[in-house]
Amino acid sequence: MLRTSFFYAVFWPRLRRNRLAMLGGVAVVTLFMLSLLAPWLSPYQPATINAWNVLQPPSWHHWFGTDELGRDVLTRVLWGARISLKVGFVAVGIAAVLGTAVGLVAGYYGGWLDNLLMRLVDIMLCFPAFFLILAVIAFLQPSIWIIMAIIGLTGWMGVARLVRAEVLAIREMEYIQAARCIGCSDLRIMVRHVLPNALSPVLVAATLGVAGAILTESALSFLGIGVQPPTASWGNILSSGKDYIEFAWWLSLFPGLAILITVLSYNLLGEGIRDALDPRSLR
């Protein structure tokens, strides 16, 4: 947790000087607002079929053109942003909570418990995450909630290692020793004193993790095992557009650009936050 004085005196000035990070932050906020206001900004309904407007190129009436069922692509891209951001935030939230808890316990107690939890992390890291997700979904019916849960449950290991490394250094500091001397319980020390000072890497990992979760969801939907039609998702819009790419290029271009801009924006913002929180940075 960033202290108010540190935020205004150190973190914010450093982040503000990083133009790429600020550009990414503006894009992230813009995308969030567009997804939030999609029901009011969308010129049409995302699932409305119009047989008279099949595969129409971009025009004043349909800025991003129409798909093979006559649905407005701009509307579906806006509604797809809601799905992608929801998956990103919920999946990263699950991964951050689980990884923080494992890293906090492992780093604070150390010993055999640390070894046990870190070996579990190593085992999980041995499995390619995307293929593990494919294997799990093969036995379950694809749905947005299952996808969010699986992405979160397969993405917590990096957060756990980052938090553990921070806790190993924090637990040896004088104020932690003082808290033990006055009789504070381990739970109180971990929650009130250790955890708030170990959250900086979690913030960076979460920002970068949203981009990865969005990319994973888009890939799953593109393969047909993610978000199922008629629900609009950037991945399934791309999937339906691949059959018409030779003469309906807009079906692949606009959702592809949405994925590119979103992932790039979160990566730029995450890199900027990491640099701003780095005590060795003099910028």
113-163 per-position pLDDT tens digit:
999 999 999 888 887 777 878 777 777 777 788 888 888 888 889 899 999
- What is the CB neighbour count within 10 angstroms for residue 14? 19
With a CB cutoff of 8 Å and minimum separation 6, the contacts of 119 are none
What pLDDT, on a 0 to 100 scale, did the predictor assign at position 98? 93
What pLDDT, on a 0 to 100 scale, did the predictor assign at position 2? 44
Arithmetic mean of pLDDT over the chain: 85
What pLDDT, on a 0 to 100 scale, did the predictor assign at position 282? 46
C-beta separation of 266 from 30 below 8 A: no
What pLDDT, on a 0 to 100 scale, did the predictor assign at position 279? 60
* CATH code, domain with 111: 1.10.3720.10
How far, in Å, CA of 141 to CA of 96, rounded? Answer: 25
Number of domains in the chain: 1
Asked, for residue 233, whether it belongs to a domain, the answer is yes
pTM for the complete prediction? 0.85
- Maximum Cα–Cα distance across the chain: 77
Asked, for residue 13, whether it belongs to a domain, the answer is no
Using 50 as the pLDDT threshold, list the residues of the chain that sit under it.
1-2, 282-283
Asked, for residue 247, whether it belongs to a domain, the answer is yes
What pLDDT, on a 0 to 100 scale, did the predictor assign at position 38? 86
What pLDDT, on a 0 to 100 scale, did the predictor assign at position 281? 53
What pLDDT, on a 0 to 100 scale, did the predictor assign at position 1? 44
Asked, for residue 197, whether it belongs to a domain, the answer is yes
Asked, for residue 1, whether it belongs to a domain, the answer is no
Asked, for residue 5, whether it belongs to a domain, the answer is no
What pLDDT, on a 0 to 100 scale, did the predictor assign at position 97? 93
Instruction: Give the domain extent around 39.
Output: 19-46+63-277
What pLDDT, on a 0 to 100 scale, did the predictor assign at position 6? 54
Asked, for residue 172, whether it belongs to a domain, the answer is yes
Considering only CA atoms, which of 232, 221, 92 is closest in space to residue 151?
Answer: 92
Asked, for residue 58, whether it belongs to a domain, the answer is no
- What is the CB neighbour count within 10 angstroms for residue 70? 17
